[in-house]
A and B are shown apart, each in its own frame.
Chain A
């Protein structure tokens, strides 16, 4: 049975099971509430013969029920037709995964118990999104769930994690504790956009890579190696909410542990075998949000304490011996974001964030600087929302801005023709120097059209 059939059948089974249970009177599921949305997302490259670069048809289904007053169940599922048919030969035509790719994604499924043991203790068990941090979609303290970078323009998206969250409410303080037994790696961007988050390896002389083989070592699924855990203490002081947090986990981006360089028949072409691991990392965080005069202010910082990862570069076949280097240094580094927003009397809303260290950046020497911004205005009784200015500027080196800048500019237009319906049209222009993240994907300017209907 292929994956798409399996996904569709699983989805049907879930629907049938829930429907049949729902039909049973006096069942706890008679109180189940369903809602969700359907969303289409199509993107076309402006260069490159107007190729379609993204196609996603997503059915989001949420179900929740309170079987008793102090319990709550919630789940969210995506059924997606994602990207394009991929057919190489006639055999592929017999596989629906290739002709019309379909996927099922369990985003969240958890059970809440309110007042567990103590009236002030709430427990959440199951797959869940634990969104820490006060920043606007860019959160250095949001490190419990793995990053989901499938769509790099959807900043801040994370995968759900299977675990337990406990929240204890003490007067004005809230203490949260999280335990996630199994490590989940980040989902990385695919295709051309992958180059945004990786830089080319420098090879000596005229050498170039002919073939490469990667092996990634996930941590063992045991109590010691797989665990991710965190604690957070939240409170309010004056006009500000703040939190202190700590996470003991693993970097969800792999780091190089070793590489073997292989000689080929062509002296200028080599093969590489690489081994990648997910190093331990600890993050101490602080965040705040509030307002000064009428201006909204927020900020957060994460101090990252990575374990050192030494990598062995075996170049003996090239006659260069075995070299040792450090792919992850154990020097702490700080990522931070500070932002502000304001709404003018005429309804124009502005939002700006300064970010030091993007999601994928590691080590104090590799953290770049970003200024993200947006201006929006709703008109015609909120039927139309215009975001004429939206995007970000990246500066890799303030001492040489001219050769180290990148930018993305993405104005958006939203139209709400009828209730629960949103149509979004936007254009995204990306440019910059090759040294920058935006510069590495400068040929991916797109026109985007999204349709969303909630039910």
Chain B
């Protein structure tokens, strides 16, 4: 009689050698040659594979991020805007789209992306966003520094 997964999991917990090895062999089932048949070789390769899998979970996210960036950059070039200014403009226009959605829109709905690029461009233009700065609003006006500082200045002990 062949026991399938559930009952095997229950018995895996024990210190029994057969089941301990079997757990490793299950993970090495798709390997070739002695890597799947000899325990001492299999366990080494399984360990290495698990390490790769752990690292790859992070790498996969980074790879996808760089791929989306390449795609969005390509789409931005078609509308004569850079990736940086697109993101800046969309952030200012309060359009919170991430890389994945932007790249999906760029390839599946190019007209939507064109509209987004136009929105970003127009927003930056109205903000006078030049060289990474707002040229029309000097910094400090928005911060209302005078309100913050006045009270502190009044409370300060004068000689």
B and A form one assembly: no
Residues of B within 8 A of A (CB): none
